[in-house]
Amino acid sequence: MQKFEINISGQAHNNLREITKNKILYDAPSALKFFNGFYNDIKTLGVFPHRGFNLINDLKAKIYKNHLIIYQILNTEVNIIDIVDPKQHSIAKKYY
């Protein structure tokens, strides 16, 4: 079985930090679980990169705790581009 290298963009890291900061205000333990769980969840894309659904411009997405992980598959790499809350339509619509 082919393994894909996972690369996470600065934008995805920054958005994850912002989402986590907002969650800390309401429930710090669940915010930490969300943060750590994101990294565990994207590891699965290294083995099953095609499991997400298709978006525009050869982008794919998978759902993680009501958020969209936006990524692209290039050769043997999975590039994590962003993580967004689909309820924030002004941000999420650039990927639809």
User: Per residue in 54-96, pLDDT tens?
Assistant: 999 999 999 999 999 999 999 999 999 999 987 775 666 677 6
Stated pTM of the model: 0.88
Tell me: domain 5-95, CATH 3.30.2310.20, correct? yes
CB 51 within 8 A of CB 62: yes
pLDDT at res. 47? 94
Q: How many CB atoms lie within 10 A of CB 5?
A: 11
Whether the per-residue pLDDT at 28 is higher than 70: the answer is yes
- For residues 2 and 68, give the distance between their C-alpha atoms in angstroms, rounded to a whole number: 24
| Domain spans in the chain, listed from the N-terminal domain onward | 5-95
Mean per-residue pLDDT, 9-24 = 94
